[in-house]
Amino acid sequence: MSKISDWFHRTFDDWFFRSMIGPAQTKGAVQGCDEYAREQWKRDLENRKRYTREQRERKRAQRQSA
């Protein structure tokens, strides 16, 4: 494929798909779901925060030992 064709598909295929499904909706994304899904979302968020803290601490320890 040519560069122009690649650019066209990367740009407009995604745009076309997004325009078909409409804008992102966040209203009630967590509050509107059932209790189990809400608790799972909270656990996932805490796990992500914990992972970030661990990575930050690991990098800090590496800098201090170097």
Is the Cβ–Cβ distance between 29 and 18 less than 8 Å?
A: no
5-14 LR contacts (CB < 8 Å, sep 24+): none
Q: Is the pLDDT of residue 20 over 70?
A: no
Identify the band that residue 42 occupies on the pLDDT scale cut at 50, 70 and 90: confident
Identify the band that residue 23 occupies on the pLDDT scale cut at 50, 70 and 90: low
Is the Cβ–Cβ distance between 41 and 30 less than 8 Å?
A: yes
Write out the two tokens for 8.
């066209």
Domain layout of the chain by residue ranges: 32-66
